[in-house]
Structure 1
Amino acid sequence: MLDILLIRHGETDWNVDKRLQGHIDISLNAEGQRQAAALGRVLENEPLDAIYASDLQRARDTAQAVATRQGKTVQIDPALRERCYGGFEGLQHHDIEQRYPEDFAAWKSRELDARYPAGERIAETMREFSGRAVSAVSAIVREGAADGHRKIAIVTHGGVLECIYRWARQTGFAHARDFDIFNASINRLQWDGERIHIRQWADIAHLSPQVLDEVDR
């Protein structure tokens, strides 16, 4: 058995503004730094064999707050990045709706193969993104289990958490999200050698009650 702590990065100013981040490399704000520090403190006495993070600084810096107290090095994996939203990135929801009304409707209806207009980068479809996220986490988990690890932490993004939750529950994307994805939340899963099982979701007992949920709900 391998225990997995799946953690969303701390708060950023763009989370507060409900501005789509995607692959844009936004840093933690002061509250996000406080959340990361609280995360490091609450996990200080949990023996972690390895700590992984997306290469985007909001996830990397959140992971580092945990790693510093554990005396560990953060292992960076770009495959743990948030979904790439192409031309949607950097915009607030109402801006997307005004600028790209048809694509906005496809986003809100959760069309798996919709590809939004390109921006600095080409957008991923939900199917492509989910495949990437599940493959990345699966690879980390299988490697950890093969190395004899008993508990690992993976610090990533809200979209990745949603993909892993739906994969573990074996539900599709057709229905709207009915579970929370909070900044700096701890989500406890377990790998039994074949499947991932959710043991506890959206633990924010270490944080203030004002913590933000993922904006795309």
Structure 2
Amino acid sequence: MLSNDNAAHPTTILLIRHGETAWNAEKRLQGHLDIPLNAEGERQAALLGAALAGERIDHIVSSDLQRARQTAEAIAAVRSTKVGVDAGLRERCYGGFEGLLYSEIAARFPLQFAAWQARDVDGVLPPGANRGETFREFYDRVTSAIAVYAAAHPGKTVALVAHGGVLECAYRSALGLSLETPRDFKVLNASVNRFVVKEGRLRLLSWGEVGHLRPAVLDDLM
């Protein structure tokens, strides 16, 4: 359960996934590796910033990885707001899986890949440039980070710009889903996902808003 000391003034959380990267497009696992947005991701971020320009946002905080920071800066640019940076909002660290295509992970680490696909939430990942996190460790890190912002900004709206795994953890927390259940919901690049922290709980208001990205599709057709 997330905590919010001032239940009379719930905190609104806009949880936003970064725009597309080249590695997203080719399904190469990023984790803690610091990959920038590609051209499509930059366009998505600009559309996202324009779509949120008229909304109240009191604070913008980003993961320290550049794909999230670039997306957050696009939101901040239209409102002259500074972006805070928090490594606690990083994607899950996948250890030796990072930098590999899913097919390469399956071939190189068959046992660990099978455990990952079977949602072994305490499964240990192979070592790599970074130490991998179990899914339980990652979930605890993410929900704790969100709780900090909820408690610190009662009655405010906080935009947290992060990663697909971070969005997944928030969704599971809000709906009370077991960590072992499959991820049968979409986590979209440059999507807006709205939550409120009320009476000590993270509650989902809306999920997967991407209507702001449609102009990019129309541009391609014209």
Pair in the same fold by TM > 0.5: yes
| Partner deviation per Cα, 1:10-31 (whole Å, 9 max, x = no partner) | 0000000100000000000000
Partner of 2:204, secondary structure, is strand
Partner of 1:123, secondary structure, is coil
RMSD between superposed Cα atoms in Å: 1.4
Alignment of 1:32-181 (within 5 A): 32-145=41-154, 149-181=155-187
* Aligned amino acid, residue 190 of structure 1: V
* Aligned amino acid, residue 184 of structure 2: D
Partner of 1:70, secondary structure, is coil
- d(CA) in 2 for partners of 1:25, 1:202: 24
| Partner deviation per Cα, 1:63-114 (whole Å, 9 max, x = no partner) | 0000111111001000000000000000000000000000000010010111
- d(CA) in 2 for partners of 1:112, 1:210: 37
- d(CA) in 1 for partners of 2:39, 2:112: 33
Residue ranges of structure 1 left out of the alignment (5+ in a row): 212-217
Preserved contact between residue 48 and residue 70 of structure 1 (Cα < 8 Å):
no
- d(CA) in 2 for partners of 1:21, 1:84: 8
Deviation, 1:62, is 0.2
Residue ranges of structure 2 left out of the alignment (5+ in a row): 1-9, 218-222
Partner of 2:70, secondary structure, is helix
Q: Which has the higher contact order (CA 8 A, sep 6+)?
A: 2
> Which of 187, 190, 198 is matched with 1:192 structurally?
198
- d(CA) in 2 for partners of 1:95, 1:140: 38
* Length, aligned pairs only: 208
Structure 1 residues 209 and 45, CA gap change in structure 2 (3 angstroms) = closer
Deviation, 1:209, is 9.4
* Structure 1 runs, 4 residues or longer, greater than 6 Å off: none
Deviation, 1:140, is 1.2
- d(CA) in 2 for partners of 1:176, 1:61: 30
**In the alignment, which residue of structure 2 is the partner of 1:205?**
211
Preserved contact between residue 2 and residue 192 of structure 1 (Cα < 8 Å):
yes
| Partner deviation per Cα, 1:15-71 (whole Å, 9 max, x = no partner) | 001000000000000000000000000000111110010000000110000011111
TM-score, with structure 2 as normaliser: 0.91
Taking every aligned residue pair, what percent have the same amino acid on both sides?
50
TM-score, with structure 1 as normaliser: 0.93
Tell whether 2:192 aligns with 1:183. Answer: no
- d(CA) in 2 for partners of 1:208, 1:19: 25
- d(CA) in 2 for partners of 1:159, 1:93: 16
- d(CA) in 2 for partners of 1:184, 1:113: 29
